[in-house]
Amino acid sequence: MTSALLLENIHASAQQALAQAQLTVATQPKALAGDALHDALQRHELLGIRSATHLTADTFAHARHLLSVGCFCIGTSQVDLPAAAHAGIPVFNAPFSNTRSVAELVIGQTIMLMRRIPEKSRAAHRGEWQKSAKGSFEIRGKTLAVIGYGNIGAQVGILAEAMGMRVVFYDIRPRLSLGSAVPAPSLADALAQADVVTLHVPATPQTKLLIDRAAIAGMRRGSILINASRGSVVDIEALAAALDEGHIGGAAIDVFPEEPRSNADAFVSPLQDKPNVILTPHVGGSTEEAQENIGVEVATKLIGFLQTGATVGAVNLPQIQPAPLQAPARILNIHYNRPGALSHFNQAVADIGANIVAQQLQTEGDIGYAITDINIVPPTGWVKSLMEDPTVIRTRTIVA
């Protein structure tokens, strides 16, 4: 029976979905690394992780039985995606399930920071009564700049408009604006307009330190910065200096360049103990609803690949949504996208006297993925012999 390993306290909804699909499910509350991870992968075909487990090329080299990886979160930067692809292992994530959770947090933080609630709350805890309207503002009529207008950024914009804010956005890709949001021609233009800036970009070489000292200097004096995207996007030292100088009026940071590996480890940041700053431990998507939805979404994708070969939603392989299997066997062939690779495969099918009933092919970069239904079940050892072809990365058979 196929076995799945779920690490890092993935929501029980994932375990339930996998168990209903007749899979054996093992769980670990923490991340695994090194030999412990390598040993675990010898016993499981599916792996579920969150952000603390890092999968490297060495990991995949030791994971001969691993069929697929599910990242039960939005990001996949903890996985060496090219290495996974060249091992024939699709990686799935959940790009939509926690968008509402992140968006709600951003709006809540916007209100708290504009009202200077963090410092008033700290004062009240110290026994100080700071009842004053000075420096406290409504968000209605203020301008929000959304940097990265994808699934989360667009939803933040919609919620902000419902609260009476003016929304501008900047994205490196052309995006259709929702509501009355207005695209800005450049990052600098978006920052210069905004009373509040919220970041929703992925971790890429292009976004590393996107908000650096110069970008912060280009923001309005007294404006607010919110980052619930990736820790590498903001120059934390520059932000701390801008807060001390009063150029930035407040900040809410949920992600950091370096984060503790577990709740037992200490957290240290230059932003600690600063007024009107909200620091949260990477909980933008951490609501019960989001985690339940993520569990179902990613588990469903893992099951789909296992049972049908579907790769829709994979972030590192060509995507195919195959029709239901109506033949004795289905061959899943992940191969290098080279001239003659498919013809060699088809010849191997013909050599065992099989007829192709249906075939789908999709390529992406140097990887090709073919799903082929045939009228017989391949003989024992055929898949192993097929793997001797240098163009083949991995082949698997599904029998009706």
Taking the mean position of all CA atoms in its chain, how far away is CA 338?
Answer: 30
Q: DSSP secondary-structure letter at 233? A: G
Residue 282: active-site member: yes
DSSP line for 23-85: -EEEE-SS---HHHHHHHHTS-SEEEE-SS--B-HHHHHT-TT--EEEESSS--TTB-HHHHH
Taking the mean position of all CA atoms in its chain, how far away is CA 112?
Answer: 27
Catalytic residue among 104, 161, 259, 292: 259
Catalytic residue among 11, 166, 200, 230: 230
Residue 50: active-site member: no
Continuous segment of H or E residues that includes residue 193: helix 187-193
Across the chain, the runs of DSSP E, i.e. the strands, are: 3-6, 24-27, 46-49, 68-71, 91-92, 143-147, 166-170, 182-183, 196-199, 223-227, 248-253, 277-279, 329-336, 356-364, 367-374, 392-399
Are 310 and 322 in contact by the 8 Å Cβ rule? The answer is yes
> Which position has the token pair 């807060």?
243
- Which residues face 211 on adjacent strands? 234
Residue 259: active-site member: yes
Catalytic residue among 116, 282, 330, 335: 282
**Could you give the residue numbers annotated as active site?**
230, 259, 282
